[in-house]
Amino acid sequence: MAFNIGGYALQTSILTKYCKARLPWYTIYPTVSEFSTEVGAKAYEECLRDLPAEDPVSLYLHIPFCRSLCWYCGFPTTIVRRDAPILKYLAVLRDEIRLISEQVPQPLPVSDVHFGGGTPSLIGPAEFLAVTELLGRSFALSKTATVAVEIDPRTFTAEMAEALGAAGVTRASLGVQTFDPIVQKEINRVQSEAQTVAAVEKLRQHGVSRINLDLMLGLPHQTVQSCVETATAAAAMRPSRLAVFGYAHIPSLLKNQRLINEAALPDSASRAEHAVAVADTLAAAGYREIGLDHFALPDDELALAQKSGRLRRNSLGYSSDSCKTLIGFGASAISRVGEGYFQNEVMRHPYTRHIEAGHLATSKGYRLTDEDRVRAAIIERLMSDLEADVPAICAAQGSDPSHFFDSAERLAMLAEDGIVDIEEGLIRVRQEHRYAIRAVAAAFDTFLDRVAL
């Protein structure tokens, strides 16, 4: 059976085969499932001390609190009605900043800072300014540094917008997901278009001009019409970029997702149709499609990075950040330092105990091998550019490309199904099959269960 989508005739069997497989999003490689407790705080300390003093780094601060639970959410967060738990957590976070700053060369330059969550905008204005002031004392923040904050428009205040402007925040990411009230009720996130517009206006009034909006596909009761209406309303606000994430329904792991009506979820073919409808809507509004699920205005850093082949894929998603090092603060935060990944305790209380005892809160990590680095580079280019020149990547790292092709057992199946074209080692994903890019990347993942497809 076939149907037309975006001008292409697609087989529903192909959609089912590649869209139903539970595959990583490949923000990092290897994925967190490969992290081990054998790589802990001592290894992290060694990597921090060995950082080159002149190389700029990125910082990530995780704020794991929300006022209400969104049923689709897959991130570790705590629902709080009072500010006391947030204030206690921030005190611990500041202690961790001091602990880390004592381990790294001084003054370590910083080019990017990202506050993620949860809902970082729940931090009070004074507390947010205190954290950013401490970062400024502990590290050498560039005058041109990108400082980004994730925001929930439903709880965002004018006072917080003023504080973000005063702190030098340059970019804000606002959660939207959908403007369809029927879908909003089904995911327990009721948020009017007017609330979102008001938040965007507050930010711009205080100099935060680079705005991201996050949308979501694959939610219960979504239709082509509702997806297009949401994308149209979002584009009318003229954000610099939009992320259009696909909902991953895994109620066996995430209890809150058990509240979602599975019978109302769109099937693979419908999800693909929704994705193309949204892409067409945003393209008509002047946005360029970036990688798997992002859209950006032509003058946005992501679009410029894609055009010049500098688009990156890291633990925060797509980025123009060229830093090799990412230092994470807060419960569950992941760092990329030296030749390894390191993750803090995921739960807030163990994280707090370690920091209050004067120790780093690293719970597990992973040391990259030479082969890991080559595979990571191939996967990053596929996810970023929808193509990868495997021989060129291998040559740059002194590796034999035949080894990676020989171990990529899925490539032949992907080529046979018309997902990719392969010519002299250059792998290109066909435009009509960009939704299957994770399946192409998975061909180079040696940790993945081979029966996943």
Residues 406 and 323 in one domain: no
**Residue whose pair of structure tokens reads 């290894």 in the numeric block:** 43
Q: Do residues 382 and 287 both lie within one domain?
A: no
Per residue in 252-261, pLDDT tens? 999 999 999 9
Q: Rg of the chain's alpha carbons, rounded to an integer?
A: 22
pLDDT of 35 higher than 70: yes
Give the 3-state secondary structure of 69-132. CCCCCCCCCEECCCCHHHHHHHHHHHHHHHHHHHHCCCCCEEEEEEEEECCHHHCCHHHHHHHH
Position 452 pLDDT exceeds 80: no
4 Rama sector, left if φ>0, alpha if ψ -120 to 50, beta otherwise: beta
| Residue 198 maps to a domain | yes
Q: Does residue 8 fall inside a structural domain?
A: no
Q: Are 422 and 415 in contact (CB under 8 A)?
A: yes
CA distance 310 to 322: 8
Same domain, 191 and 244: yes
In a domain, 160, yes or no: yes
Q: Please identify which residue in the block is written with the tokens 């797509």.
A: 318
The whole-number pLDDT of residue 346 equals 96
The single residue listed with the structure tokens 């030479």 is 370
Q: Are 322 and 379 within one domain?
A: no
For the residues of 312-365, what is the DSSP string, one character each?
EEETTEEE----S-EEEESTT-EEEETTEEEEE-SSHHHHHHHHHTTS--EEEE
pLDDT in tens, 77-135: 999 999 999 999 999 999 999 999 999 998 999 999 999 999 999 999 999 999 999 99
What digits encode the pLDDT tens for the residues 38-83? 999 999 999 999 999 999 999 999 999 999 999 999 988 999 999 9
State the DSSP H helix or E strand holding residue 262, giving kind and residue range, or none if neither. Answer: none
Q: What is the pLDDT of residue 453?
A: 46
Q: What is the pLDDT of residue 21?
A: 64
**43 and 177, same structural domain?**
yes
- For residues 288 and 400, state if they share a domain: no
> How confident is the model at residue 12, as a pLDDT?
61
Secondary structure of residue 25 in the 3-state scheme: coil
How sure is the predictor about 168, in pLDDT bands with cuts at 50, 70 and 90? very high
Contact 30, 366 (CB under 8 A): yes
Q: pTM here?
A: 0.94
* Better-predicted residue by pLDDT, 22 or 328: 328
Report the C-alpha gap between 392 and 251 in whole angstroms. 41
Expressed in angstroms, the distance from the first to the final Cα of the chain is 20
pLDDT digits (tens, 9 = 90+) for 176-224: 999 999 999 999 999 999 999 999 999 999 999 999 999 999 999 999 9
Q: Are residues 247 and 111 in the same domain?
A: yes
How far apart (Å, rounded) are the C-alpha atoms in residues 383 and 283?
20
Asked if residue 405 is part of any domain, the answer here is yes
Cβ contacts of 430-436, under 8 Å, gap ≥ 24: 431/386, 432/5, 432/6, 432/8, 432/10, 433/14, 433/18, 434/289, 434/292, 434/386, 435/18, 435/19, 435/272, 435/275, 435/292, 436/14, 436/18, 436/19
The answer to the question of residue 58 being in a domain is: yes
For residue 434, give the CATH number of its domain: 1.10.10.920
In this prediction, what percent of the chain has a pLDDT beyond 90?
Answer: 87
Specify the higher pLDDT residue, 264 or 317: 264
Side-chain-facing half-sphere of 432: CA atoms under 13 Å: 15
Look up tokens 């080559």; give the residue.
Answer: 374
Structural domain tally of the chain?
A: 2
C-alpha–C-alpha distance, residues 192 and 220, integer Å = 18
> What is the model's pLDDT at position 289?
96
Q: For residue 12, how many other CB atoms are within 10 A of its CB? A: 14
Q: Can you read off the two tokens belonging to residue 108? A: 């370590």
Q: Where are the alpha helices (H) located in 116-256, listed in sequence order?
A: 125-138, 158-166, 181-187, 193-205, 224-236
Is 15 a residue whose pLDDT tops 90? no
Of 364, 356, 309, the closest CA to residue 332 belongs to 364
Tell me if 241 sits within 8 A of 212, measured CB to CB. yes
Residue whose structure tokens are 């400082």 = 147
- The set of residues, in sequence order, having a beta carbon less than 8 Å from that of 48 and lying 6+ positions away, is 100, 103, 104, 327, 337
Same domain, 427 and 311: no
**Alpha carbon 164 to chain centroid, angstroms:** 21
Both tokens assigned to 102: 């004592």
d(CA 244, CA 409): 30
Task: List, for residues 94-109, the tens digit of each pLDDT value.
Answer: 999 999 999 999 899 9
Give, as one character, the DSSP assignment of residue 394: H
- Whether 70 is covered by a domain: the verdict is yes
Q: Of 305, 327, 349, which residue constitutes the final position of a domain?
A: 327
Are 443 and 452 in contact by the 8 Å Cβ rule? The answer is no
Name the residue among 316, 255, 256, 331 with its Cα closest to residue 86. 331
Residues 228 and 374 in one domain: no
pLDDT tens digits along 422-440: 999 999 999 888 888 999 9
**How do 65-66 and 78-79 pair as beta strands?**
parallel
Task: Flag whether 225 is in a domain.
Answer: yes
77 and 186: one domain?
yes
Question: Which range marks the domain in which residue 215 is found?
Answer: 31-327
Q: Of all residues in the chain, what percent carry a pLDDT higher than 70?
A: 95
DSSP category for residue 369: P
CATH number of the domain within which 131 lies: 3.80.30.20
Q: Let me know whether 74 and 205 are in one domain.
A: yes
